[in-house]
Amino acid sequence: MTCFFVNRFSKFRNRLLTPALAALLLAGTISHKSLIAKEENSMPTRSELPSTNKWNVEALYSDPSHWAQELTTIQGQKGSPRWPELKMFQGKLSDPKAVAAYMEKYLKLDRMLNKLYTYAHLRMDEDLGNDEFKKNYGLIISLAHDFQLETSWVEPELLSLSDREIQRLMQEPSLAPYRFALERIVRMKPHTLSSEKEELIALSGKALDATGKAFSALINADLTFKPVVDSNGQELPLSNGTYLSYQTSPNREIRKQAFVNLHEKYASYLNTICELIQGKVNAHVFNAKARKYPDSLTAATFGNQIDAKVVTRLIETIRKGRAAMGEYLDLRKEVLKVDQIHAYDLTAPLVAESRDKMTYAEACQNVIDSVAPLGAEYQNALRKGLLEERWVDPYESARKRSGAYSSGCYDSMPYILMNFHGNLRDVETLAHEAGHSMHSYLSKKNQPYIYSQYPIFVAEVASTFNELLLLDHLMKKAKTKQDRAFLLCDMIDRIRTTIVRQTLFAEFELKMHQMVEQGQPLTPSLLNHLYASLLKDYYGDALAIDPQLEVEWARIPHFYSNFYVYQYATGLSAAMALYEKAIRSTEARDRYLKFLSSGGSKYPLDLLKEAGVDMTSSAPIEAALKRFGELVKELRNNL
């Protein structure tokens, strides 16, 4: 059966955002040496932070020794099977009583493992150099694979039953709490293999993941980049983390150097990266063929009952919106006073941020105030989480993981990792992760364990909905046209990067898979040409396609996930549609809150339809593009 806590690991890992350490490198005023000195001399260690500035991970286990004790209790016996109390049911699942007893034991183990995993990954992310935390994380991940392997026989056995036996299970009153989970399994019958073959597929998991891990090691540990040199001759360190900071610098030469230096390094490894991405695509194609799906896209979407047309319709709709994108790039060209927009001009600030940086306390208060339209119960729960229960680990410390995410388990509070510096992006990140956390909070509060995890397709709806609330709140507080223009720029760029850019990525990913499915080998020149042609299709002549931009595909980690990126675009589009209704109607707001409370109790498209948006239609995407055009016109009037 599906291993819930392994799925959760994949989910939160893919939510990592850009590292905030780059904020120290404003406009090239801090040298490489001074940055290193700041990291070594000024970055507090974990022990130096007061408990009020840390998340309350002790609420899970008071210390690592208690975690280790529970791990020992649950890890089962040595050898195979580890968990004979599960294996004893093999061959007996035609009996409803046996199925009910198995589910009870399985979910109890899975829930305990989920709790152990949550503590281990939170502790490791606090200090990536702590050997004990790394060891514990490795132990629980290894146990996760064993658990998945030892339960891989369940679905094939259930699906080997006759239609009459399956109907008997579905109608059994004692199995009513598991009926939707069983329906999902039964739906997979055409694509589930024999018990022996499912075990082989489970065993192949680590090998098939190798290329993705190799890519991560290459870009995060092995690649080093030529530094950027400022007008004073100072060398500024360039990394994947600092890159986006340079791309938001008002200094065009800094932006261009960072763009060229980063992509030329990737270009020097194109053959290796091409083989890595081809390996990952081959893994997806292998799984699709082994399970008798018509193609990789269907294989990736079938389990959540998402028609592949949702993805292709998204691509077709976004392609039609090129005129609005051209208007925006023309406005950028006018404001920046350049002859043509290059990739390193796309995130250059059009308006200086006039507001002072917020303290973390001020950021929390703004986020709390912004969610008032969702009602007092929602607002009070978030207030308590941020201000009293210590959901958040807000500040950087030595060897802490960069980025941001929301995590947790059924038996914990939501946990939010941040690296807060006080700029608008950090405040938005807090709102974003608080949206995820409140989604988890409400799902756990209202659903049993088996349905408490919401599908990835709907995950980004809750987070981006809260970003919209925050921006609306800040817009109402804006005192000058400059403040308003700055916020408008932020929203416009959010739609461009989350809906338009991620859809471009989705089409690139789809075409790569189609090529491999048709027997066409991927080569660097082929992928460069494909990526450049898509940029031309999405942006037209308004964007200069520099040689370095053609290799941008080589640095995108999401291409190593399985058709993940399109869900960013559908998520924001759905959030925008629901937001427009919820802020105007109490009934619509209540439907949205019910959606947040529904967890994974229904298929994602059904959950969204009940909330008030039909993602099988192009209407939400078209509305988002229309709103994009309106925002561009409003920005022009405020500049």
Q: Please classify residue 275 by burial: count the beta carbons closer than 10 Å to its beta carbon, then call 0-12 exposed, 13-18 middle and 19+ buried.
A: middle
CA nearest to 227, candidates 206, 243, 213, 211: 243
Report which DSSP code applies to 393: E
Task: Name 163's Cβ contacts closer than 8 Å, sequence gap at least 6.
Answer: none
CA–CA–CA angle 209, 215, 218 (5° rounding): 140
What percent of the residues of the chain are helix, what percent strand, and what percent coil, each to the nearest 5?
A: 70, 0, 30
d(CA 237, CA 224) in angstroms, rounded, equals 10
Element (H, E) at 436: helix 424-446
Residue 91 tokens read as 């061959």
**β-strand pairing of 392-393 with 415-417:** parallel
Q: Which residues fall within 8 angstroms of residue 625, CB to CB, at 6 or more apart?
A: 317, 318, 320, 321, 324, 499
Annotated catalytic sites, by residue?
433
CA dihedral for 431, 435, 436, 441, sign (positive or negative): positive
Tokens (6 digits) for 405: 């995410």
Query: Is the separation of the CB atoms in 95 and 166 below 8 Å?
Result: no
For the chain, the maximum distance between any two Cα atoms, rounded to a whole number of angstroms, is 79
- Distance (Å, rounded) from C-alpha 475 to C-alpha 470? 8
Contact between 495 and 468 (Cβ < 8 Å): no
Residue 453 and residue 7 in contact, taking contact as beta carbons nearer than 8 Å: yes
Count, residues in the chain: 639
Query: Rounded distance, CA 247 to CA 244, Å?
Result: 5
Measure CA of the first residue to CA of the last residue in the chain; give whole Å: 56
- β-pairing, 415-417 vs 405-407, is antiparallel
255 closest CA partner among 636, 536, 263: 263
DSSP 543: B
CA 150 to each of CA 83, 184, 409: distance values in angstroms, whole numbers, following the listed order? 8, 20, 22
